[in-house]
Structure 1
Amino acid sequence: MQRITISIDEPLADALDAMAEARAYTSRSEAMRDLVRDGLERWRADHVEAAHCVAILSYVFDRRIRSLPQRLADMQHAAHDLVVSTTAVRLDHDNTLETVILRGSAQAVRHFADHVQAERGVRLSSLKMVQVEPGDAHEHPGDHHHHGHLHLTPRS
C-alpha cells in the first residue's frame, strides 16, 4: 500500500471526520479510500466511451405533465436492450420516483439517461454508473454453459 499525504482546510477535515463517524469508518484513511474510489469511478464514467457498465438511473417525475408517464414507458421499451428493471414509487398524488437499472455500453446508457433527464417534468435525476468488463472468465470448477450471456466483472 502506498502512503499519500494531503493537506485540507479545517472545515473540510471536520466534514470528513463527521462523515467517517456517521458511516462507521475505522479511520480517515478508510473514508478517503472510498471517496477516491467513488471519484475515480465517476471520472471513468465521464471519460471512457467504449466501456460497458451497469447503472442506476433515478429520477422524480410529475405524472400530471401531459403524456409524460407514457413517454417514459415508451423510451424504456425502445431501449429494451439496455433496461434490465424499473421500479416506481408513488411519492404523493402527483410525483413518482422511478429507478431504472441499465446494462450496456457506457455511451448508450449515458445517451438514454440524457434523454430521460431532458424530458419536461423529470427532475432530481441521478445516474450512477459502474464500469464492468464483459467476459467468460470465472474460477468455478466444472463445466457449465452461459446460454448466451456474459459475466460482467466490475473494474477495479
Structure 2
Amino acid sequence: MTVVSVSMPEDLLSRIDSFADEHGYTGRSEVVREAARNLLGEFEDKRLEDRDLISIVTVMFNYETTTVEERMMHLRHEHEELVSSNFHSHVGNHYCMELFVLEGRLDEISTFVGKIRATKDTLTVDYSVMPVDDFSSLENLG
C-alpha cells in the first residue's frame, strides 16, 4: 500500500485519533481511508445519474472571514446557470450561513459542492439532493 503524507490541524488529528479509538478502528489511516472512500462514492449514486436534480447546500463560516463570503459570491456568479436561489443569513454573533438552491445534473452539483468544500475556513458544508421527477410522486400522496 502506498504511504501518503497529509497536512492537517492538530485538533482535527486529535479528533480522528479519538474517533478511531472510540469506534474500534486500527488507527488513523483506516479512518482516513474510509472517509476518502465515502467522499469519493458520495456522488456516484447511479440512481441520480442522467436526471434533473434539486439540491440544497448550506455553508457555515465565521463572520470575520470575509474571504469565504467573497468566494461564495464568486461561486454563485461562476455557476449562475446552476444556482436557482441564494440566501445569506447571520447566525448568532459570529457566524454566517449561505444557503444555495441548485437545479442541475449530478456532475454539476458535485463540482459546485466540491468547490465549496475546498474553500478555506468554511466550518460546515451540508447538502441534500433529490430528483425533480420525485416531486410528482409526492403530489400524489396529498
TM-score range, shorter chain: 0.5 to 0.7
Structure 1 CA distance, aligned partners of 2:118 and 2:131?
24
Letter in 2 for 1:105: R
Counterpart in the other structure of 1:60: 60
State the Cα RMSD in Å. 2.4
The offset of 1:45, in angstroms, is: 6.9
1:133-152 to 2 correspondence within 5 Å?
Answer: 133=133
Structure 2 CA distance, aligned partners of 1:100 and 1:66?
18
Per the alignment, in what secondary structure is the counterpart of residue 45 of structure 2? helix
Per the alignment, in what secondary structure is the counterpart of residue 132 of structure 2? strand
Counterpart in the other structure of 2:84: 84
Counterpart in the other structure of 1:154: 135
Contact kept, 8 Å, 1:45 with 1:129, in 2: the verdict is no
Counterpart in the other structure of 2:45: 46
Structure 2 CA distance, aligned partners of 1:69 and 1:45?
29
Change (3 A) 1:66 1:98: closer
1:1-156 to 2 correspondence within 5 Å?
Answer: 46-47=45-46, 48-133=48-133, 154=135
The offset of 1:68, in angstroms, is: 1.9
Structure 1 CA distance, aligned partners of 2:44 and 2:90?
30
- Over the matched positions of the two proteins, sequence identity in percent amounts to 17
Per the alignment, in what secondary structure is the counterpart of residue 74 of structure 2? helix
Change (3 A) 1:131 1:98: same
Which deviates the most, 77-86 or 114-123?
114-123
Higher RCO, Cα 8 Å, sep 6+: 2
Contact kept, 8 Å, 2:43 with 2:106, in 1: the verdict is no
Which TM-score applies when normalising by structure 2? Answer: 0.58
Structure 1 CA distance, aligned partners of 2:43 and 2:97?
27
Q: Which runs of 5+ in 1 are unaligned?
A: 1-42, 134-152
Structure 2 CA distance, aligned partners of 1:90 and 1:128?
21
Per the alignment, in what secondary structure is the counterpart of residue 51 of structure 1? coil
Which structure has the highest helix share of the two?
A: 2
Stretches (4+) displaced over 6 A? none
Q: Which runs of 5+ in 2 are unaligned?
A: 1-41, 138-142
